[in-house]
Homo-oligomer: A and B are copies of this chain.
Amino acid sequence: MNKFLHKWASDLFPINRSITGKGVRDTLSYIKDIIPNLNVYSIPSGKRVFDWVIPNEWEINEAFIEDQNGNRVIDFANNNLHVVGYSEPVDKWIDIDELNNYLHSIPEQPNAIPYVTSYYNKTWGFCLSENQRSKLKDKKYHAVIRSKLKKGFLNYGELIIPGKSKKEILLSTYICHPSMANNEVSGPVVTAAIAKELEQNKLNYTIRIVFIPETIGSIAYLFDHYQALKKMVIAGFNITCVGDNNCYSYLPSRDGNSISDKAALHALKHVDSNFIKYSWLDRGSDERQYCAPGIDLPIASILRSKYGEYPEYHTSLDDLSFISEDGLQESVDIYIKVIKIINENYTPKPLILCEPNMGKRGLYSLISKQNSNTKGVIDMMNIISLCDGVNTILDISEEINLPFWDVNEIIKVLIKENIVSPFK
């Protein structure tokens, strides 16, 4: 494909995203340059969406902690993790003892600035590394956050790639975290690359791709679309934490046995069986909404280092050096593999009773000796014997322990030879 994945990530990394506001819009704008068919939508602050309300937009222009000598010891301009997300404005001199109540650091990770938010509880705060914090020796500091919370919009992007069927495969990724690499920019980068590749294919199923703020974004999206999605979505994935080089992780859908799960586990087994299999109880992203009782979409995740499971998670250490071009590309590749499985899987029906005569078709060893059939012929005969009008190609692949993509090549030969029925 391309070699721009890490470049895209680097471009998106510095943007100060939150669940609403300019950061989201700038991110969507960048993605629209990659996939121009993307449509961007706005939901107004204050709108009720199920049990939630779309929050006000958070705008921040400047924030710092200044010492008594006028030195900015912590400056939002240096790292947008330095301010607690959705902090209210503040501008006051404050005793170090009181200030400590508004500071967040991680003693066990002295170099890491933690990522902290407070969307639904009005407060303010600064995040800094333990090393930075240990240098705050003054009695008083000047804490300044020039932010606003005001009516505005929650924005998201949506791309529909039409297929032969109106049934859909849903891909979702999120765009609400400031400067962090694996969680989060790897998600929109990999998803954009998948979109670009899928747009070049004739597809059996329609692909729906959304770029949304996590949690409130998927809830808002579902509020407007869940009845249609329940009817149309046959499979899907929440794409996140797909940038590093560590082994794959798998987070199942709530159902655990959907075609999303089967296809993903099949691909992982054949691509790199040494992956970590999590349970539904380990979930933590938008599958919480997509798979919620009553919503019930079959949404799973293939990840690399999973959110919550690596020490750099939700800190400044999850930076561009934590992800790689290879890690991003392999994630694109496995998702494309899985989507192709779902897209091409069907139940081939036998068109001939008893074994077909493969000899007359030139597909069989014509002289029969002890063990004269090659593995390829044995595979083909096994596949024919399992095309019973009940098994899907994926079922057959599992049964004979071959990758879907190899079995599917043989199925194509069998279709050509009028031995089994084609898709649909």
Contact = CB atoms under 8 A, between A and B. Distances in A.
A179 interface: no
Interface string A323-357: 00000000000000000000000000010111111
Contact of A288 (B288, B355, B399): B355
Nearest to A308: B371
A120 B359 contact: yes
Contacts of A294: 350, 353, 388-389
Interface string A283-294: 100001101111
A374 B354 CA distance: 53
Given A118-B367, A121-B367, A314-B370, A352 B385 contact: no
A35 to B, nearest CB: 27
B370 A106 contact: yes
B121 A355 contact: no
A272 interface: no
Nearest to A218: B354
Contacts of A387: 293
A174 to B, nearest CB: 14
Contact of A385 (B116, B226, B292, B382): B292
A78 interface: no
A1 interface: no
A73 interface: no
Interface string A266-306: 00000000000000110100001101111110000000000
Contacts of A350: 292-294
A30 interface: no
Given A222-B353, A371-B308, A366 B51 contact: no
